[in-house]
Structure 1
Amino acid sequence: MSTIADVAARAGVSKATASRALSGGGYVSQETRARVQAAASELAYVAHSSATSLATGRSLSVGVIMPALDRWFFAELLAGIQEGLLASGQDLVLYGIQEGTAERARLFEEVLPRRRLDGIIAVGIQPSAHELERLIQVESPLVSVGAYSADTSAVSIDDAAAARIATEHLIDLGHRDIAFLGGRADAATHAFGDEQRRSGYREAMTAAGLAEFIRHADGEPTMPGGYEAGVRILGDRQNRPTALVAVCDEAAIGGVIGARRLGLSVPAELSIVGIDDHEHAEMFALTTVRQQPRVQGRAAVDLLRQRMEAPDAVPERRVLPSELVVRASTAAPRT
C-alpha cells in the first residue's frame, strides 16, 4: 500500500507539501497540487482518515440522528445520505433515538459534545431550543430533514400539502366521511412530518366544509399499526368512514389488509390513499402521494456541505416536489 512519502517522492515534493495538496489545507500552487494528485492517482494512494483529520481539522464524519430505523422512508433516506457522504469521502455515524427519552437527552448533553463530527443531519425530529444551543456550542453545522426551524437549513417535501392533495383527491371523488389513519403525536417513534400531514388533512376537510367528519384513528405509522387502527375504525359499522387518508404508505397498506379482514372491498366499499410511494405501493395498487426519500437524503448532504463551507450563511429551506399517483385503491363512494 502506497504512503504519503511515496506520493511525495513521485511528485518531487516534501511530505508536508503532498499532504497539504491532497487535504486542501494551506497554500499549494495549482501546478503542484495537480502534480501531487496525479501521483496519488498513479499510486492508488488513499489518505488515512486520522491523517486527513489532523491536516484539515475535520473528522470526515457526519452524524445522522433518526427516530426510527425500521421504517421504509427512513431506510431509503439513509441510503441517500450514505450515497452523498460516500461521494464526498465522509463517514456516517448513525444515532437512533426516540422522542422524550433519557437516551435523547444523553445524546445532546454527552455524546455529541465529545464526538468530533463535521456536521449533523437530523431526520424527522425537531431539535428543541436547548438542543440547538448544545449543537451551536459543539460547533456542528445542522441540517434537518422532514422538520423545519428558522435557525437551521432543511430539506423536505411539504408534508401538509401532501396530505391536502390526498384528502382533496378523495373529496373530488365524492367522499365526505374521510378519516385519518395512523400516527401518534405522543408516540416514541413520532416523526415531525406525521403531525404536518395530520394538519394538512384537517385543513382540506375544513376548507371543503367537512369539519364535522374530521377524526383520527391513531396508531403506529407501520403496517401492523395501520392494520390495528384500520380494524378499529372500520369495525364500527354504524360509524364507518367511506375513505381513509393514511399518514404513510405502510399504514395505508396495513389499512387495506385490515379492511379485507373485515370483508370490505377496496375501493368498492372503502377508498384508501397513502403518502410516500413505498416500494410495495404498486403491488397493493395503492393510490399515494409520491416523495423520493433518497433524493432528500442526497439533498441533505449537499445542504450540509454548504453549511460547512459557509457556516454564517442564511439557513436554506429546500422543499422538494411531491405528486399524486392514482392507482386502484380509490374510487367514488357507493350511492
Structure 2
Amino acid sequence: MPPASKINMADVARRAGVSMATASRALANHPHVATATRARVLAAAEELAYVVSPEASRLAGGATDRVGVVVPHISRWFFAAMLDGLEAVLRDADLDVLLYHVGDAADRHDFFRRLPARRKVDALVVIGLPVDEPERERLALMGVHIVAAGGQIENYPYVCIDDAAAGRQAVDHLVFLGHRRIGMIATLDPEQPDWPVAPGRTRAYAEALTEAGIPADPALTVTVPWGGVSGADAMSRLLSLRTPPTAVYAHSDEVAFGAVRTLRRAGLRIPEDISVVGIDDHPHAELADLTTVAQPVRRQGELAGRMVLRLLGGEADGDGITVPTRLVVRGSTAPPARRSTWPPARRRPAAR
C-alpha cells in the first residue's frame, strides 16, 4: 500500500473496483451513484485513510461552507446553549452547521473511524468531548481546522472556563462562611464512564481544603453518574454518615438540584441546617435560589464561532481563550449553625 501521504483518488477507485469518476462522485455524495457503489467507495477510502485534499476540493467547487460540530449530548442545556451561540455566529457568516451526535462508546468509535473519509466540512468544533491520542490522529487526517469548545484538547485552539478556578470559587465560599465539614458530589458521564467530568473541579476541592487546613475525609466525597437523580442519591449517602457535612459542593447545578430535593424530603432547612453550592448557573438556578458559580455558556459558543471564522480567513489564532467565571451568592448558603449536636433534629414537613 502507498504511504498515507501518497494515497490518491486512483488508489481508492482501484480498491473499490470503480472508475476514478465514479469514486469522485461517490466521495462527493453525488445523488446519481448507487447506494452499494457509494458504500464500497467509502469503505475503500476508510481502509486507505484517504482524505479529499482541501485545496483540491476548493478548486473543484469551492469550500463546502459548512462547519461540523461534534457533541456528546444534545438534550442537556449546556450543549444546547453552546450550540446556540456557535450557530448564530456561523449563520451570520453564511456558514451551515453539520451536527454530529456522538453518544455512547460505540457511537464514538464509529464516528472517529468514519470521519477522515468524509470530509464534508471546512472546520470542526468539538464541544465538551475529551479526545484521546488515536482520535486526534483521525482528526488530523481530515486536514481541516479543529476548535475545542467547553474544554481544552491538546494542540487545538479552545474556548472554555478554568474548571479548577470555578471549583475554588465554590469551595472557598463555603470555607469563608466557616464550614469545616464540606461534602463533595463529583460526577461521571454515564455514557463515557472512562472520562471524568471536569477533573479540575475535583482538584479544586482538595486544594481548597488543604490550604484552609481542613483534614480530608474520603467519606465526604461521593462520585455518581451525572444527573439530578444521582445527585439526590449522593446526598442520601452523605446524610447517612455518622457526622454528615454542614455544606455540600456539587460539580453541577443539576446535581445540586437533586441534593436539595433529598434535603427537603429529610426535613432539613437550606441553608440553616446545611448549605449547598453548585457550578454553571443553570437556567433554573435562580428560581431554585441556588448559590452557584456562573459560566457564560452561550458566550463561549459565540467565541468559538468567531475563532472558526478567523481560522478560515487565514488568520493565526492563539492557544485559546479562558472565559472567567463568577460566584453568584443566593439563598442556599450561609454560615454553619452553632449547635452542640449534629445532625439537627429532622423536622416534620409542613401540612399542605
Note the alpha carbon deviations across 1:216-265, whole angstroms, 9 max, x for none.
Answer: 2222322222122222222x151311111111111111111111111111
Report 1:248-267 matches (<5 A).
248-267=252-271
**What is the rounded CA distance, in whole Å, between the counterparts of 1:165 and 1:158 in structure 2?**
11
Structure 2: which amino acid aligns with 1:152?
Answer: Y
Question: What residue in structure 2 maps to residue 43 of structure 1?
Answer: none
Structure 2: which amino acid aligns with 1:230?
Answer: M
Preserved CA contact (<8 Å) 1:178 1:245: yes
**What is the rounded CA distance, in whole Å, between the counterparts of 1:149 and 1:114 in structure 2?**
22
Preserved CA contact (<8 Å) 2:295 2:325: yes
1:191–1:258 CA distance, 2 compared to 1 (3 A): farther
Preserved CA contact (<8 Å) 2:125 2:146: yes
Indicate the RMSD between aligned Cα atoms, in angstroms.
2.3
Aligned length: 281
**Equivalent residue for 2:101, pick from 96, 100, 121:** 96
**What is the rounded CA distance, in whole Å, between the counterparts of 1:83 and 1:171 in structure 2?**
40
Structure 2: which amino acid aligns with 1:300?
Answer: A
SS at structure 2 position matched to 1:219: strand
Preserved CA contact (<8 Å) 2:187 2:196: no
**What is the rounded CA distance, in whole Å, between the counterparts of 1:162 and 1:239 in structure 2?**
27
Is the aligned partner of 1:60 residue 2:57? no
Preserved CA contact (<8 Å) 1:179 1:244: yes
Report 1:169-318 matches (<5 A).
169-184=173-188, 188=192, 194-213=198-217, 215-234=220-239, 236-310=240-314, 313=316, 315-318=318-321
**What is the rounded CA distance, in whole Å, between the counterparts of 1:201 and 1:246 in structure 2?**
10
Preserved CA contact (<8 Å) 2:190 2:225: no
How many Å apart are 1:268 and its aligned residue? 0.8
**Equivalent residue for 1:76, pick from 58, 78, 81:** 81
Preserved CA contact (<8 Å) 1:124 1:192: no
- Which stretch shifts more, 164-173 or 183-192? 183-192
1:144–1:131 CA distance, 2 compared to 1 (3 A): same
**What is the rounded CA distance, in whole Å, between the counterparts of 2:189 and 2:199 in structure 1?**
7
Is the aligned partner of 1:333 residue 2:336? yes
SS at structure 2 position matched to 1:324: strand
Note the alpha carbon deviations across 1:198-230, whole angstroms, 9 max, x for none.
Answer: 122222122212242354222232222212222
**What is the rounded CA distance, in whole Å, between the counterparts of 2:211 and 2:171 in structure 1?**
11
How many Å apart are 1:189 and its aligned residue? 6.7
**What is the rounded CA distance, in whole Å, between the counterparts of 2:175 and 2:150 in structure 1?**
26
TM score, norm. by length of structure 1: 0.78
**What is the rounded CA distance, in whole Å, between the counterparts of 2:59 and 2:234 in structure 1?**
53
Preserved CA contact (<8 Å) 2:188 2:196: no
How many Å apart are 1:58 and its aligned residue? 1.5
- Which stretch shifts more, 109-118 or 277-286? 109-118
TM score, norm. by length of structure 2: 0.74
**What is the rounded CA distance, in whole Å, between the counterparts of 2:243 and 2:253 in structure 1?**
24
Question: What residue in structure 1 maps to residue 26 of structure 2?
Answer: none
SS at structure 2 position matched to 1:279: coil
Preserved CA contact (<8 Å) 1:150 1:315: no
Structure 1: which amino acid aligns with 2:95?
Answer: Q
* Identity, % of aligned positions: 36
1:185–1:220 CA distance, 2 compared to 1 (3 A): closer
Q: Structure 1: any 5+ residue segments left out of the alignment?
A: 1-51
SS at structure 2 position matched to 1:226: helix
SS at structure 2 position matched to 1:289: strand
Structure 1: which amino acid aligns with 2:111?
Answer: L
**What is the rounded CA distance, in whole Å, between the counterparts of 1:207 and 1:317 in structure 2?**
29
Q: Structure 2: any 5+ residue segments left out of the alignment?
A: 1-56, 339-352
**What is the rounded CA distance, in whole Å, between the counterparts of 1:84 and 1:190 in structure 2?**
33
Is the aligned partner of 1:321 residue 2:286? no
How many Å apart are 1:95 and its aligned residue? 1.9
Preserved CA contact (<8 Å) 1:166 1:324: yes
Preserved CA contact (<8 Å) 1:160 1:196: yes
Preserved CA contact (<8 Å) 2:68 2:98: yes
Question: What residue in structure 1 maps to residue 12 of structure 2?
Answer: none
Note the alpha carbon deviations across 1:248-297, whole angstroms, 9 max, x for none.
Answer: 11111111111111111110111011111111111111001011110000
Preserved CA contact (<8 Å) 1:271 1:329: yes
**What is the rounded CA distance, in whole Å, between the counterparts of 1:323 and 1:291 in structure 2?**
7
Preserved CA contact (<8 Å) 2:166 2:293: yes
**What is the rounded CA distance, in whole Å, between the counterparts of 1:263 and 1:245 in structure 2?**
20
